[in-house]
A and B are shown apart, each in its own frame.
Chain A
Amino acid sequence: DAGITQSPRHKVTETGTPVTLRCHQTENHRYMYWYRQDPGHGLRLIHYSYGVKDTDKGEVSDGYSVSRSKTEDFLLTLESATSSQTSVYFCAISETSGLSYEQYFGPGTRLTVT
């Protein structure tokens, strides 16, 4: 499972409140990613990190910010949650070796914004 955990696993929050989701990995991977999964959209990249303090935007980054102060932790923050951010959020890490590229996912966080 590539040693990826996410917390919390489930959260219900109200519109307008800030929310932070945590992704933790134990294997010193350089790249970490945050995705959201919604019906009819597959998985869409929100933000990613290529090292401590090095982050960049994905295709659906509006309304989200990230931070990575340690290799093992990648935080996703919704500054002011909206109902459109109700989704399942997945964290991932990547591994590259020779002609192989693999990306592994955490178990997900189900977020409901009421």
Chain B
Amino acid sequence: DQQVKQNSPSLSVQEGRISILNCDYTNSMFDYFLWYKKYPAEGPTFLISISSIKDKNEDGRFTVFLNKSAKHLSLHIVPSQPGDSAVYFCAAMVTQGGSEKLVFGKGTKLTVNP
């Protein structure tokens, strides 16, 4: 049972345009949602997170939107740059019995074309 789903395995965007990466989840008990960028042969890089009590968080070119009624979140990258080409993972954090655990989606490969 996959609790966090990224239904698009890949996305291609022109440089300067907006990239929109999507994520759906099934567990309404998640407390936080996070986005990561990953280059080959490197560890995931934290980009931005959002609390479940908020609906938007912004950091520079990155904005995350949370729609709790639809159990959906999205990451907007504006403007997209060739260096943004990477695999993007959505993750959700749940607190259970004092422990804090992340559940990851399977990733979306973003390609930004010059």
Which positions in A face B, CB cutoff 8 Å?
31, 33, 40-45, 48, 50, 56, 58, 90, 94, 96, 99-108
Contacts and interface: CB of A to CB of B under 8 A. Distances in A.
A107 B45 CA distance: 10
Q: Interface centre among A43, A100, A104, A108, by most B CB within 10 Å?
A: A43
B43 A105 contact: yes
B34 interface: yes
Main secondary structure of the interface of A (DSSP, over half): strand
Contacts of A101: 31-32, 34, 49, 51, 93, 100
B16 interface: no
A42 B43 contact: no
Main secondary structure of the interface of B (DSSP, over half): strand
B104 interface: yes
A90 B104 contact: no
Given A50-B99, A101-B49, A101-B51, A44 B104 contact: yes
A107 B43 contact: yes
Given A33-B101, A48-B99, A103-B93, 6 more contacts: A31-B100, A48-B101, A100-B49, A101-B32, A101-B51, A108-B41
Q: Interface centre among B41, B44, B89, B106, by most A CB within 10 Å?
A: B44
